Amino acid sequence: FFHTEIPEGLRRLPGPKPLPIIGNVLEVGSRPYLSLTAMSKRYGDVFQIQIGMRPVIVLSGNETIRQALIKQGEEFAGRPDLYSFRLINDGKSLAFSTDQAGVWRARRKLAYSALRSFSTLEGTTPEYSCMLEEHICKEGEYLIKQLNTVMKADGSFDPFHHIVISVANVICGMCFGRRYDHNDQELVSLVTLSDEFGQVVGSGNPADFIPALQFLPSTTMKRFMDINARFSQFVQKIVSEHYATYDKDNIRDITDSLIDHCEDRKLDENSNVQMSDEKIVGIVNDLFGAGFDTISTALSWSVMYLVAYPEIQERLYEELKDKVGLDRTPLLSDRPNLPFLEAFILELFRHSSFLPFTIPHCTTKDTSLNGYFIPKDTCVFINQWQVNHEPETWKDPSSFNPDRFLSADGTEVNRLEGEKVMVFGMGKRRCIGEVIARNEVYLFLAIIVQKLHFHTMPGEPLDMTPEYGLTMKHKRCHLRATMRMRNEQ
Ligand code: HEM
């Protein structure tokens, strides 16, 4: 790569000098979102590092990322062939595999339409506008009951542990038409031990770039493989049950609708993209995985911010009390009337940037960006954390201040400011669950803030340092919650 001929008129990429064998691994360190942001100040929006023997391009700055992922979308839409990606979903993941463009596009379209139809489907009672709302409201109520029970029994609770089960149940409802009890050991052990997944697939894991490391014993890697195997088994069992009870005239959930697609396709002789049934039904694996880890991480961070900023927690409660009241559960239709909650969520996404990099991209052909030459098959990291903390865009970026997204009188959200926050990626690979995610984070938060008051444990300082990964988590901790009392109403 370093000796590649640069076409005339284009420049060679800037970047730190790599060491033999390990490249820039030491400079990248254990918090790549900070080290690569610091490097962007020195080398600019497009620069090159080397991880092991492999060159990686790092993109920063809203405009540069927009140019690459939107204006030159096709050229930057690939996924790199990384060791850890091959272990996910038997190498057949929609989000992580190196599927050819045609196959990936067809799968993405299918996943998107299945998600859309099962989230917007009518609820079982007229009280709810859609299935998504019904699932979230019911799981929100269970969550509150569960936290109350745990508080009475233990005096404290682990926020991530309980939130992740509730969120997993919403996506289980849509994908598999079922929910699990908070004490169900199979689901609990699967979803609460998912930390290693994010740690291994986060941008810059040296084992992905230095082949020798793949052969060394590593507990994290072993657990990563174990999680993938257990995850596939869990989904496979449910998929087999669906095949056994599938009825064309009664499509119950996303799994059924994907099976149905396979059946229809067998009758369609004109179908031009060749895909195995496994690749189609396997989409549900991606939807389930992406659907619980991201949203539960967002909600768990939300609770940490509520506790860290009690005055903000009170303002959110007051807004709910004023605009929704305390006699009914908040609904999706209340969202436009709760600007402070909306601003809180935007600030949570920006400040935590808990998905600091998108999933790594890869160039699909020789290209150039900002005058620099980038060859085909180059791995590309997109630094979302840098976009969300750029001092030119954000005043005092390290302070947590939801008001930055509100109009001066506090009654409206400034949409243009909100659009500058980057957490769902951009362009062709942009997250397909964004609408569901934004609605789900909003509604769960509205429900819990209306009913519960969260506090720290006396004498236990709050540790907000993120642990690096694809989704960054806060350290597991214990908090307290009390029911909002009648006299507060
Ligand atoms: C991809 C963020 C929730 C499904 C992504 C990407 C990001 C992201 C950054 C990678 C974009 C890229 O590579 O450029 C988030 C955040 C969420 C969330 C912050 C919650 C707050 C969800 C949900 C689902 C979902 C609920 C589905 C139920 C997917 C899928 C992809 C993806 C399938 C892969 C798309 C592709 O490679 O073509 N998401 N996501 N996400 N997301 Fe999400």
Q: What local confidence, expressed as pLDDT, does residue 261 receive?
A: 86
Q: What's the distance, CA 470 to chain centroid?
A: 8
* Closest residue CA from atom 7 of ligand 1: 424
Q: What local confidence, expressed as pLDDT, does residue 3 receive?
A: 60
CA of 435 to the centre of ligand 1 (A): 10
In tens digits, the chain (489 residues) has pLDDT values of 556 788 989 999 999 999 998 999 999 999 999 999 999 999 999 999 999 889 999 999 999 999 999 999 999 999 999 988 888 888 899 999 998 888 999 999 999 989 998 888 888 888 999 999 999 999 999 999 999 999 999 999 999 989 999 999 999 999 999 999 988 988 888 887 666 777 777 777 877 877 777 777 777 778 888 888 888 889 999 999 999 999 999 999 999 999 988 887 766 655 666 778 888 888 999 999 998 899 999 999 999 999 999 999 999 999 999 999 999 999 999 999 999 999 999 999 999 999 999 999 999 999 999 999 999 999 999 999 999 999 999 999 999 999 999 999 999 999 999 999 999 999 999 999 999 999 999 999 999 999 999 999 998 899 999 999 899 999 989 999 999 965 554
Ordered alpha helix ranges (H), 336-467: 339-352, 384-389, 415-419, 434-451
CA of 18 to the centre of ligand 1 (A): 32
Q: What local confidence, expressed as pLDDT, does residue 1 receive?
A: 54
- Write the Ramachandran bin of 228: left for phi over 0, alpha for psi from -120 to 50, otherwise beta: alpha
Q: pTM score, two decimals?
A: 0.95
Burial string for 409-439 (b: 16+ CB within 10 Å, else e) reads: eeeebbeebbebbbbbbbbbbebbbeebbbb
Residues 161 and 182: beta-carbon distance below 8 Å? no
Residue with tokens 């009280």: 127
CA of 120 to the centre of ligand 1 (A): 18
CA 24, 357, 36 angle in degrees (round to 5)?
Answer: 35
Nearest-atom index, ligand 1, CA of 359: 13
Q: Is 175 annotated as a binding residue?
A: no
- Write the Ramachandran bin of 353: left for phi over 0, alpha for psi from -120 to 50, otherwise beta: left
CA atoms lying within 13 Å on the CB side of residue 151: 18
Candidate of 294, 346, 428 to mutate for ligand 1, largest count of ligand atoms within 8 Å of Cβ: 294
Q: What is the 3-state secondary structure (H, E, C) of 234-249?
A: HHHHHHHHHHHHCCCC
Q: What local confidence, expressed as pLDDT, does residue 489 receive?
A: 44
CA of 64 to the centre of ligand 1 (A): 21
CA 128, 132, 133 angle in degrees (round to 5)?
Answer: 35
